[in-house]
Amino acid sequence: MGNILNFDNFFIPVDTWIEVIVDWLVGNFRPQFQMIKWPVDVTLTGIDSFLNWVPPIIVLLVLVLFAWKFSGKAVAIFSLISFLLIGYMGLWSETMTTLAMVFSAVIFCIVVGVPLGIIASRSDGFAASIRPVLDTMQTTPAFVYLVPVVMLFSIGTVAGVIATIVFSMPPIIRLTNLGIRQVHPELIEAALAFGSTPRQVLLKVQVPLALPTIMAGLNQTIMLSLSMVVIAALIGAGGLGVPVFQGLNSLQVGLAGIGGISIVLMAMVLDRITQSLGELGKR
Amino acid sequence: MDERNTKVVVKNLYKIFGENPERAFKLFEEGKGKDTIYKETGLTVGVRDASFEVYEGEIFVVMGLSGSGKSTLVRMLNRLIEPTSGHVYLEDKDVAEMSKEELVRIRREKMSMVFQSFALMPHMTVLQNAAFGMEVAGKPEKERNERAMKALEQVGLEANANSYPKQLSGGMQQRVGLARGLAVDPTIILMDEAFSALDPLIRSEMQDELLKLQEASQRTIIFISHDLDEAMRIGDRIAMMEGGNIVQVGTPEEILKHPANDYVKAFFRGVDPTHVLYAGDIASNKFVTLVDHKGEGPRTALDQILRAERDYGYVLDRRKRFQGIVSIESLKNLIDSESEKQASLSEAFLDNVQAVTNSSSLQDALPHISAAAWPVPVVDENNVYQGAISKNIFLKTLHREDE
């Protein structure tokens, strides 16, 4: 007994196993992984060049109008001041890149996450089996992710966005699943009694009623992706993570500071706007 | 009863909940009951060997206590619950056997349903809710809105078409539920405890509404209820259910005269009705109620009582709380002695009026009922008026129980 509990006598080489697995993946499947990059690359480059091409005044205008429509005057004014400040601090272009990274990551999270959430809501087995995967995706420290991501996708902004997608997808899957499961069974019964097909039940009853919850998931996904895109600067991604990372390397506290402030302001603006999108769904 | 067209024929319908239901059938053959089967196999018998016919244009009430299988039974008619075995013939087609596609078509065209919990879509307006059946059937928007509006007119809710269900009272919500069921113009409407969630006054109002609609166009309605008064009031025929079995089918009159077993008897007559029944159970709301507000004076009150051919009126405040009783005589006296300013109704209140609560037993209520010249008002714990009990009603209750 004493022997078994002596940690010097027994050793499980999990680290070696992981290395073997990742090496094997890299050795055999790198082309396939590179293919995943392509749609992300196109989306990201498109949004990024667009946001950096439009004059800031247009971006500001759209942002303020959007905030005004969905969240009211206070949030609109706050958004305007925040983004003006970001611009005057000289980080406009970096902010647009980060925004583009967040948008692309979130688009892929929605496209992949909502259907997965819907499947999970209809199958207990699937829901149970993806749960540990989601836990892993969400809790693995960001830095641990980055190693295999670099090995599979090499470095750069696209690789950063892919790491962000993986990190920030769990909430939208979880909350889509939860939202659909929370729809009252009587409502589904009523929909069926009037001759709805399963697809109609989903599209006319379950998804619309789950929308506030799905929106809450979207809000969390956006917040998580914001924290990850900054860390992604470590593997060569652009955007607001760059000044923070440079400031860290050369101990320029001011540079890291303005990067940090811009991230916080942007997070608050995005949070307020998406939160009221969820409220809107509740009516 | 003369030969009528049968609309629905249910034959040997079973529902056993649990894995491998065949095990239950074996035990049925050995004569085992629901409880033994549950103990031995863990299977729950929902409905056992139900067979009955429903005629065209009648209101067929399935009546039983909770757990008697009546909700399961009605859900097997449109297959919200899959029958374990048996047949449900709707106009000669077996619902229990048909394909999913055909089932969807039948649900869209032939059967609609009204639910106890209303089950209205909270994200849709009243009009959209009423049009729901036609929406899933793919009817063009213009047509479905027209028909939904017509259905809403039938239940008196056309003014609320653009509200959301949350903004309506319970009674109004169930009118929407009813309109949704009517709008698809079904052959059969299934109503699962449709009025049970409503308070007694609204409930009888809805029952009247249903009878009125039924008079206008004869539909076949299968109505689930646990409330005897409701069953007697609206049912052309009643099926009594107990523990998953249908124990008797017949008109209310037939069942009253020849109850099939003790369970049915117990429904209709207690050992001593004055102990079993509460004042709230037999209170009638057919008496004149007057809501005390500024426009209401002795003359309008008198007019309402006379027109209803009654002798007394029950004065309530705006929240239906009981205030007092006025009689034709006391109102006339007040009008004669009236000075220039308008007299208030309370000046005509009779003395010595005492209300009983709906939870007092008939035993306790009896002295009040026999002593008062007027029907004794019944209130709930918040003094909200529930109805009144006249000597006549009381005697009828005793008679019914003793017969």
- Specify whether the CB–CB gap between A174 and A117 falls below 8 A: yes
| Architecture of the structural domain at B279-402 | Roll (3.10)
Residue of B71, B81, B98, B132 to mutate for A, most A C-beta atoms under 10 A: B132
Check residue A171 and give its pLDDT.
94
Residue B122 at interface with chain A, using a CB cutoff of 8 Å: yes
Residue of A194, A199, A202, A282 to mutate for B, most B C-beta atoms under 10 A: A194
Q: Which of A176, A172, A155, A22 is nearest to A105 (CA)?
A: A172
Measure the CA–CA gap between B354 and B369, rounded to whole angstroms.
10
Predicted interface score ipTM higher than 0.90:
no
Residues of chain B with CATH 3.40.50.300: 6-110+187-266
| Closest residue in chain B to residue A201, using alpha carbons only | B136
- B326 has which bridge partners? B313
Closest Cβ–Cβ partner in B107, B120, B164 for A193: B107
Helix, strand, coil percentages (3-state) for chain B, rounded to 5, are 40, 25, 35
B180 interaction partners in chain A (CB closer than 8 Å): 194
Q: Would residue A224 count as lying in a domain?
A: yes
Q: Is the pLDDT at A89 greater than 60, yes or no? A: yes
Q: Would residue A19 count as lying in a domain?
A: no
Check residue B3 and give its pLDDT.
58
For residue B345, what are the contacts with CB-CB under 8 A and spacing of at least 6? B290, B292, B296, B297, B298, B301, B315, B323, B324, B326
B184 interaction partners in chain A (CB closer than 8 Å): 194
Q: Would residue A69 count as lying in a domain?
A: yes
Does A192 contact B136 at a Cβ distance shorter than 8 Å?
no
pLDDT digits (tens, 9 = 90+) for B56-70: 989 999 988 877 889
Residue B28 at interface with chain A, using a CB cutoff of 8 Å: no
pLDDT digits (tens, 9 = 90+) for B106-146: 999 999 999 998 999 999 999 999 999 999 999 999 999 99
Check residue B277 and give its pLDDT.
65
Q: Would residue A1 count as lying in a domain?
A: no
Q: Which of B195, B225, B226 is nearest to B209 (CA)?
A: B195
Query: Where are the strands (E) in B67-137, listed by range?
Result: 85-90, 93-94, 111-114
Q: What is the CATH number of the domain that holds A147?
A: 1.10.3720.10
Q: Would residue A216 count as lying in a domain?
A: yes
Q: Would residue A143 count as lying in a domain?
A: yes
CA distance B364 to chain A (A): 41
Residue B137 at interface with chain A, using a CB cutoff of 8 Å: yes
Residue B101 at interface with chain A, using a CB cutoff of 8 Å: no
Q: Is the pLDDT at B273 greater than 60, yes or no? A: no
**Cα B28 to chain centroid, rounded:** 34
Instruction: Taking the CA atoms of A251, A255, A258 and A262 in sequence, report the sign of the dihedral they define.
Output: negative
Q: Would residue A93 count as lying in a domain?
A: yes
For residues A269-283, give the mean pLDDT: 77
> What is the tally of structural domains in chain A?
1
Q: Would residue A4 count as lying in a domain?
A: no
Q: Is the pLDDT at A281 greater than 60, yes or no? A: no
Does CATH place domain B6-110+187-266 in 3.40.50.300? yes
Domain that holds residue A83: 29-282
Closest Cβ–Cβ partner in A189, A195, A283 for B136: A195
B133 interaction partners in chain A (CB closer than 8 Å): 194-195
Does B136 contact A196 at a Cβ distance shorter than 8 Å?
yes
Check residue A217 and give its pLDDT.
93
Check residue B270 and give its pLDDT.
44
Does A184 contact B111 at a Cβ distance shorter than 8 Å?
no
A 10 A CB-CB count for B99 gives: 8
Closest Cβ–Cβ partner in B121, B180, B184 for A205: B121
For residues B211-227, give the mean pLDDT: 88
pLDDT digits (tens, 9 = 90+) for A146-183: 888 888 888 888 888 999 999 999 999 999 999 999 99
Residue B136 at interface with chain A, using a CB cutoff of 8 Å: yes
Least confident interval from A1-15, A76-90, A159-173, A213-227: A1-15
Helix or strand holding residue A34 (H, E): helix A14-53
